[in-house]
Structure 1
């Protein structure tokens, strides 16, 4: 008797979101099946990797991840170009950490000038994340949206406390938005509802259900990401059919297994950190990640090879 594997069919489809300026755009989404289930439906586009950069040199990164960028950490424009030209990033994710009111507290105009300069230096799409301070991010991203008009960037994170100002800026200057929710299916869906009710086209939204590292909550984030994708496909739920952005690079390199350098019995610290980030990336790809925000170029290289193998 010949075994025939069961095959499911789905009513829903993940929306397609276009990122970047005309001529160098990237489209994510469009799946009609679970990740890499080519025997059940279509996955027309490969996931993309956005390498993260900061607008101010980080002071708490382990040496393993500082080394590849040591010559550009004080120059976000050169940093972005290096990620594009040397490390093969599909996108850049700029974190405007210098705008944090609890840090340097740079003003929105300063941040906008940095964004404008980076857009002039790279040809790949840009994602712009604020410092994580909801109130300040609303002000900063409004100014960023203005100077980035025509480049269709992803603005974020849009959260419960600032989604109105970020969404309005995205609508006014025709950008995309990344909605950040605290690891909860219903809260992710509700944020999407609120942003679309303000007039944002659902085709300009990506979901960020929160990031976690291997061993530090990854299984929970994996579950929520997978459940969002199942709701999109099985239930044809229009408010969960946005592509998924997975922001985990910074979480990985905060984990003790990735950053600890004085435990010889744990093996080479650089290799350990790279593999910690790659395993996290592999997990999020299987869960349904369309955009991965990553940090170490060697982890990016491994992940790209993994995507190649899965797509073939």
Structure 2
């Protein structure tokens, strides 16, 4: 399959796991950036302090490639927002699943000087069975506010880093002996990811970061069916 974008999940820099240095992360991202011809996303470990350090260096190294960087959060938006301005990258504004928090961070980035066309909203969603209904309702409210109420600060594209959320839950990994009622292990996680993707698309997501090729294939098939119907 040919993905529309590639996301590099920079998880090894997390201080609670491998705590690798920023230079090593930059090297990995650059190797991927030089090897692909599609847009790139650099997604940090969600440690606000470590991401401020790592993503700043990633942005500098990827100058001219116009990549998306995130998650940019309340604690590090000044550093990373300024970085996105300086190197003309896309800022992924990430907040807990709440419409007011999302709007506030978008306002802060705008006040800092990040252009509207350089902002994506990450509402921080869960997977199927883990709060997906609430995520759906919040995303739906964002779209309604943007479209019917002309709320410009909620009119940005929505990106959902949902693949990792699906595959980390126990239901995606339990063997058939451990959970015989959950069905075929090889199909289960794929279907969980594909169903999550379809729900988020219906809620208004513009970009999905997925993991399993088969789940991506099923999701693309659904999009094509909807576009031609």
**TM range, smaller chain:** over 0.9
* Structure with greater helix percent: 2
Root-mean-square deviation (CA, aligned residues, Å) is 0.9
Q: Structure 2 matches for 1:239-258, cutoff 5 A?
A: 239-258=153-172
Question: 20, 42, 45: which one pairs with 1:131?
Answer: 45
Q: CA deviation at 1:104?
A: 1.8
Question: 57, 71, 87: which one pairs with 1:157?
Answer: 71
Taking the aligned partners of 1:254 and 1:115, their CA distance within structure 2 comes to 23
Question: 199, 209, 213: which one pairs with 1:297?
Answer: 213
Deviations 1:274-293 (A, max 9, x none): 11111100100100010001
Give the unaligned 5+ runs of structure 2.
none
Q: Structure 2 matches for 1:95-134, cutoff 5 A?
A: 95-134=9-48
Q: CA deviation at 1:301?
A: 0.4
Question: 255, 267, 277: which one pairs with 2:193?
Answer: 277
Taking the aligned partners of 2:17 and 2:117, their CA distance within structure 1 comes to 35
Taking the aligned partners of 1:256 and 1:142, their CA distance within structure 2 comes to 34
Give the unaligned 5+ runs of structure 1.
1-86
Q: CA deviation at 1:254?
A: 2.0
Deviations 1:205-255 (A, max 9, x none): 000001111111000000111100001000101100000001111111122
Taking the aligned partners of 1:215 and 1:183, their CA distance within structure 2 comes to 16
Q: CA deviation at 1:270?
A: 1.4
Identify the residue that residue 226 of structure 2 maps to in structure 1.
Answer: 310
Q: CA deviation at 1:257?
A: 2.2
Taking the aligned partners of 1:271 and 1:150, their CA distance within structure 2 comes to 40
Taking the aligned partners of 2:83 and 2:34, their CA distance within structure 1 comes to 21
Q: Structure 2 matches for 1:59-74, cutoff 5 A?
A: none
* Structure with greater strand percent: 1
Q: Structure 2 matches for 1:184-223, cutoff 5 A?
A: 184-223=98-137
Taking the aligned partners of 1:147 and 1:119, their CA distance within structure 2 comes to 10
Which structure has the higher relative contact order (CA within 8 Å, separation 6+)? 1
Taking the aligned partners of 2:16 and 2:167, their CA distance within structure 1 comes to 22
- SS of the residue aligned with 2:206? strand
- Greater shift, 99-108 or 182-191, is seen at 99-108
